[in-house]
Homo-oligomer: A and B are copies of this chain.
Amino acid sequence: MRSHYCGHLNKSLVGQPVELCGWVNRRRDLGGLIFVDMRDREGLVQVVVDPDMADVFETANQLRNEFCIRLEGEVRARPDSQINSDMATGEVEVLAKHLEIINRSDVLPLDFNQNNTEEQRLKYRYLDLRRPEMSERIKLRAKASSFVRRFLDEHNFLDIETPVLTKATPEGARDYLVPSRVHKGKFYALPQSPQLFKQLLMMSGFDRYYQIVKCFRDEDLRADRQPEFTQIDIETSFMTADEVRQVTEKMIRDMWQELLDVNLGEFPVMPFSEAIRRFGSDKPDLRNPLELIDVADLVKDVDFKVFAGPANDPKGRVAVLCVPGGAQLTRKQIDGYAEFVSVYGAKGLAWMKVNDREAGVEGVQSPVAKFLSAPVIEALLDRTQAKTGDIILFGADKANVVAEALGALRLKVGLDLELTDLSAWAPLWVIDFPMFEEDDEGHLSAMHHPFTSPLGVTAEELIANPASANSDAYDMVLNGYEVGGGSVRIHDAAMQAAVFETLGIDEEEQQLKFGFLLDALKYGTPPHAGLAFGLDRLVMLLCGTENIRDVIAFPKTTAASCLMTDAPSLANPAALEELAVAIAVDKK
């Protein structure tokens, strides 16, 4: 039905007949002629209808926006004065010879030229996706997955599918469950990741595995989360953490080069402890020049408990951000930041403006200055290398509160004061994560997952001193987003048992949940390591959007609904009966 895409027409085709299929993007009547901007997947082209062609003209007269049409015509060069350099096909136009209306269109419920609410856009997603901005994103996503597959195929990775209907896992608290019709009263779980299956594939000897695969997590959603998300899932045998990082870093670097013509360079590698110390985050945005500066040693003897308390607490921390140009902040703005950090548990935000660095202690303005001696203030100014016009913002609390509060404040202030270079790309690896996280009651949980290998300790050493153990895990961070994470896995049955013991998972529970994995460890398991990238986030970054829904063809809302199809919905009672499932909703 078509000889060319609209968006592909150019001067080399002048004089040639073409057949086009697409949509009326816009129609204008001008000087007795009708101009139609005709659109297809590849772009727009201008069609001209001359009143001399009576039939065609009459049809063209009926055209409205978004009519689906088929056109036969001839490509001709536009006069120099009419060349539109904003348009890829702006040097040519098509003179209509034959025009067919394939399908009419009502007036769209979305206005392509105005801002629609996201709710409207999601309800009429199939129309929203006609907007070139949106369709370009979906096309870029297709290019990205295609690139990944080509790269991994070339590097000897095998694309192997793992099940979607799986057994519930320990992270099970957020599993989507699927009742079984055959085994009434039993359930499948949708996978939060193919973790165990990919480890089993290594035990099977497949050596290098990948899959671009849907994963599912039934959790409270945030702007960059979806109930179903897509993972580039990778696992290798006989490769060290370093080698896994090398090959996956190359994949991302090559991808940015090919799709954006951007060279990401070599990724710095930073231990978790350094990331927390310098940036208050395990996914630091290195486009932002601000760093946390520890000052506990300077304030531990001051007569100001807000500082001296945490400074003398082994679990406390006192740190500052020195913000260039921050002295310009109003009292109201600073109060706003104080409220901002309170969300992270900070009980206030002490600050110190450096109005005149030359003037030393006399040149600072701060509600807390009165609690600090002149030498302490001088020492703070020296430590932070503060300059005239800066502001020093204090965090003093439990170490994790300080890290979270100043880490978040760092990002916010960096954006507000335009210190962050939004045009830059800043990748890094974060490594050497703690093996376990401890909650307030001293219970340990796995920071990554219980199959992650500890780093440099034996099973006995791990059991003796679990809290201080690090894991051989690594995250890839890009512009403050964790885009991928992985680890070397445990391939030794004794070590796996030690980790379960540390986590307080007894043997019965181990057998029930992971019996097959523990069994498998008996039969010559190879050393293996892997990683998973969040494809949605990678594409979000490639597209330069901050809304993950913009890079998913049919996304769900933050309430996990599809506004277009109205899912989830009520189920057929007969179907529920057959599944032996009843709804237990409180009618109140």
User: Looking at the complex, which one of B124, B168, B200, B569 makes contact with A125 (CB distance below 8 Å)?
Assistant: B200
A39 near B205 with CB under 8 A, answer: yes
- Smallest CB separation, A392 vs chain B (Å): 44
A583 near B185 with CB under 8 A, answer: yes
A178 near B181 with CB under 8 A, answer: no
A167 near B204 with CB under 8 A, answer: no
A172 near B575 with CB under 8 A, answer: yes
CA–CA, A432 to B513, complex, Å?
51
CA–CA, A583 to B181, complex, Å?
12
Residues of B with C-beta under 8 A to A5: 207
Residues of B with C-beta under 8 A to A146: 149, 153, 159
- Smallest CB separation, A182 vs chain B (Å): 5
B127 near A568 with CB under 8 A, answer: no
CA–CA, A240 to B1, complex, Å?
8
A418 at the interface (CB under 8 A from B): no
A127 near B581 with CB under 8 A, answer: no
User: Looking at the complex, which one of B106, B162, B564 makes contact with A523 (CB distance below 8 Å)?
Assistant: B106
User: Which residues of chain A from 249 to 287 have a CB within 8 Å of any chain B CB?
Assistant: none
Contact code string A58-76 (vs B, CB < 8 Å = 1, else 0):
0000000011101000000
CA–CA, A135 to B204, complex, Å?
8
CA–CA, A567 to B186, complex, Å?
8
B572 near A180 with CB under 8 A, answer: no
A582 near B579 with CB under 8 A, answer: no
Copies in the complex: 2
B142 near A160 with CB under 8 A, answer: yes
User: Looking at the complex, which one of B24, B160, B178, B204 makes contact with A127 (CB distance below 8 Å)?
Assistant: B204
- Given the interface pairs A68-B526, A103-B526, A126-B204, the reply to whether A176 lies near B176 with Cβ below 8 Å is no
User: Which residues of chain A from 139 to 180 have a CB within 8 Å of any chain B CB?
Assistant: 139, 141-142, 145-146, 149, 153, 158-168, 172-173, 175-180
CA–CA, A301 to B183, complex, Å?
55
A102 near B190 with CB under 8 A, answer: no
CA–CA, A67 to B201, complex, Å?
16
A228 near B164 with CB under 8 A, answer: yes
- Smallest CB separation, A492 vs chain B (Å): 7
A581 near B584 with CB under 8 A, answer: yes
Q: How many residues of A contact B (CB 8 A)?
A: 124
CA–CA, A237 to B6, complex, Å?
14
A561 near B177 with CB under 8 A, answer: no
CA–CA, A211 to B183, complex, Å?
31
A492 near B103 with CB under 8 A, answer: yes
A553 near B516 with CB under 8 A, answer: no
- Given the interface pairs A161-B553, A524-B23, the reply to whether A126 lies near B41 with Cβ below 8 Å is no
B2 near A238 with CB under 8 A, answer: yes
Contact code string A481-510 (vs B, CB < 8 Å = 1, else 0):
000000000011000000000000000000
Contact code string A1-15 (vs B, CB < 8 Å = 1, else 0):
110010000000000
B164 near A560 with CB under 8 A, answer: no
- Given the interface pairs A188-B568, A228-B165, the reply to whether A523 lies near B66 with Cβ below 8 Å is yes
User: Which residues of chain A from 553 to 588 have a CB within 8 Å of any chain B CB?
Assistant: 553-554, 556, 559-562, 564-572, 575-577, 579-586
CA–CA, A196 to B565, complex, Å?
10
A161 near B238 with CB under 8 A, answer: no
A430 at the interface (CB under 8 A from B): no
- Given the interface pairs A526-B103, A527-B102, A583-B581, the reply to whether A201 lies near B575 with Cβ below 8 Å is no
A304 at the interface (CB under 8 A from B): no
- Given the interface pairs A204-B135, A238-B1, A582-B582, the reply to whether A168 lies near B129 with Cβ below 8 Å is no
Residues of B with C-beta under 8 A to A383: none
CA–CA, A146 to B68, complex, Å?
34
CA–CA, A164 to B159, complex, Å?
20
- Given the interface pairs A177-B179, A562-B163, A569-B167, the reply to whether A582 lies near B581 with Cβ below 8 Å is yes
Residues of B with C-beta under 8 A to A30: none
- Smallest CB separation, A105 vs chain B (Å): 4
CA–CA, A184 to B578, complex, Å?
19
B66 near A524 with CB under 8 A, answer: yes
- Smallest CB separation, A558 vs chain B (Å): 10
- Given the interface pairs A158-B142, A239-B1, A567-B166, the reply to whether A575 lies near B175 with Cβ below 8 Å is yes
A214 at the interface (CB under 8 A from B): yes
A315 at the interface (CB under 8 A from B): no
18 more contacts with CB within 8 A, not counting A21-B238, A135-B206, are: A124-B519, A129-B205, A146-B153, A160-B553, A161-B552, A163-B567, A164-B190, A164-B228, A168-B567, A172-B575, A177-B571, A177-B576, A178-B568, A179-B179, A200-B554, A577-B584, A581-B582, A582-B583
- Chain A contact residues, CB within 8 Å of chain B: 1-2, 5, 21-24, 39-41, 66-68, 70, 102-106, 108, 124-127, 129-130, 135, 138-139, 141-142, 145-146, 149, 153, 158-168, 172-173, 175-190, 196-197, 200-201, 203-208, 214, 216, 218, 227-228, 230, 237-240, 491-492, 515-516, 519-520, 522-527, 552-554, 556, 559-562, 564-572, 575-577, 579-586
The 9 closest A-B pairs by CB, nearest first: A129-B204, A105-B524, A167-B567, A186-B568, A68-B524, A185-B585, A180-B568, A167-B565, A41-B207
Question: Can you give 23 contacting A-B residue pairs, CB < 8 Å?
Answer: A1-B527, A21-B238, A22-B205, A24-B524, A41-B208, A106-B522, A135-B206, A138-B160, A142-B160, A162-B554, A165-B176, A165-B216, A167-B562, A168-B567, A177-B178, A182-B560, A185-B570, A186-B568, A186-B570, A186-B571, A200-B564, A577-B584, A581-B582
